[in-house]
Structure 1
Amino acid sequence: MKSSEWLIKPSTSNFQTLGLCLLLVIIFGLSYTRFIEPNWIEINSLQLTLPHLSPEFNGYRIVQISDLHRDSNWMSQKRFRNTINLVNQQKPDLVVITGDLVTKNSPSVIPTLKSDLDKFASKDKTVAILGNHDHMNDSKAIIQAIETSSTVNLNNAVYTLHRGSAMLHIAGVDDVWLGKPRLDLVMQQLPNEGAAILLAHEPDFADISAATKRFDLQLSGHCHGGQVRLPVITQFFLPPFCQKYDSGRYQVGNMIQYTNRGLGMTSINLRFAARPEIIVFTLVAPNRS
């Protein structure tokens, strides 16, 4: 018997079965990344001990959202308002929005921003900064929508919360990528006493903010957690200022940095291994006894 007779020749049916399985995997993968994961919002809870937090703010709840990318396509007004309802269900003391309220070249949605922002129901305030996509629209109109709503514009500004004589400072810088941050102005406005939290759309700004040794926490967005997160490959496609702190919690010097994966999408409306995120922070005062 010839040795070649021992070889099993693949049949046409085997190739057809393999092709069908591959097609089903592709269809399922595209369906998951397009229709399931982008709508599968993860609500994360995290307790953070801030070294300078006064006991009066112990248990204070901050809900952070980021990168809404409101547009006329995927992030419709209906979807945005459903997200707002999810935020309100977390019973926030403060809502923070860390940029990219609107996706680039979407001027038609800006007139709806004010009414949407007014639907957040925090005990204290809603505060927001701009991101790079906001500056790719009519940023003045977006700022006007923020400032005429019940939301505080924190672009290069500080907002101070009071509990008696105790203070908690929420500061923000304008977009880093487009050269808008004025940390110097923020530092001029920031009192010396009380815990301070900085909002900065691009997370890698943490290296600069941590160097001031004034901030207990920086909250950011911008990276979308990679949006389509694949081993090794994802790192090459992360946007500028997203190379070091692209998702989740980090320790940068004495400062905690957290990068939210955001709620919207850009370029392609797909997500994989980077679910949209709402994060609930419960602040804890250190035990000084």
Structure 2
Amino acid sequence: MRISKLIKLVLIRAIQIVLIGFLLVFSTSVYAHKIEPNWVEVTQNEIQLPKLDSVFNGYKIVQITDLHAGDGIDRAQLERVIETVNAQNPDLVVITGDHVSRKPRQHIELLDTLAKLHPRDRTISVLGNHDVFNDPAPIRAALDRVGITLLENSIYTIKRDRATLHIAGVGDVFAKDDKLDLVLEQLPPTGAAIMLAHEPDFADETAATGRFGLQLSGHSHGGQIRIPFRKGYLPELAQNYPLGRYQVKEMVQYTSRGIGMIKIYARFNCRPEISVFNLVSRS
């Protein structure tokens, strides 16, 4: 009898452990697939930018990246992101690549929501590897329709009286479309300069020029799934600067966790991010 009761107790405890384990796995899965991907964090960053004229003190740039529209993120989610971006009262909005993941027309059509972005000056974008490896032509056309300036090895200059702030953008590095020499040819010798490059590890080349005070990137998604002692999934060209702020020589590199997802379409300990940068001059 005692053995029988002991067996029953062991079986009950085993069932309890299995149920607790199941509930833990289930709740974690729901959180990672449904809750955290929609729990966008707005990060605030103060950047002291070399050569920035004092007239640009407090200039606010809001970065979004890796939208992957239509591939795990729908129109309603994009509109909520845009509403949050506009609530920051940005002077400039930058999108650092991977607007979509795939070719289907309905994914491209979601980019019309970007027309609702309302920065004081402009919305500027660069292409990412997913944009280029599919078909960049309809993406270029979609961005043009909504009034977004696409930089492909070119610059856009913002003026305040006689002061200038230069925003540069390279073609996708993964696709070997980057031409930093062309960018430098167009870049005036005066005025602060910021680089937009989808892949963050390009920061080594950008910093080596000594001309840029800040590079903004995406691509890594921050790893998406971050657990202790592991960095999560990090793609090529996002190994050195995968997440957040780094000092690369005299330049600040910032890698945003982005908005969308790939692969397993989940996030854990790696919330989607809207990055806000408040510029400060050294003088």
**TM class, shorter-chain normalised?**
over 0.9
1:278 matched to which residue of 2? 274
Say if 2:155 and 2:167, in contact at 8 Å, map to a contact too.
yes
CA contact (8 A) 1:50 1:195 kept: yes
Matched, 1:224 2:228: no
Map 1:1-289; keep pairs closer than 5 Å.
11-71=10-70, 73-113=71-111, 115-234=112-231, 237-287=233-283
Q: Deviations over 1:60-116 (max 9, x none)?
A: 000000000001x52112211121111001100000000001113444321342x32
Q: Distance in 2 between matches of 1:182 and 1:143?
A: 18
Shift of 1:44: 0.8
Residues 60 and 93, structure 1, Cα contact 8 Å, conserved in 2: yes
**Residues 184-203 of structure 1: CA deviation (Å, up to 9, x unaligned):** 11111110000000000000
- Matches of 1:162 and 1:57, distance apart in 2: 9
Q: % of aligned pairs identical?
A: 47
TM-score, with structure 1 as normaliser:
0.93
Distance 1:86 1:164, change over 3 A: same
Aligned-partner Cα distance in 2 for 1:243–1:112: 30
Cα distance in 1 for residues equivalent to 2:102 and 2:251: 31
Structure 1 segments of 4 or more deviating over 4 A? none
- Unmatched 5+ stretches in structure 2: none
SS of the equivalent of 1:11 reads helix
Across the aligned residues of Structure 1 and Structure 2, the Cα RMSD in angstroms comes to 1.5
Per-residue deviation at 1:147? 2.2
Count of matched residue positions in the alignment of Structure 1 and Structure 2: 278
TM-score by length of 2: 0.95
5+ residue gaps, structure 1, are none
3-state SS of paired residue (2:282): coil
Tell whether the 8 Å contact from 1:107 to 1:138 is kept in structure 2 after alignment: no
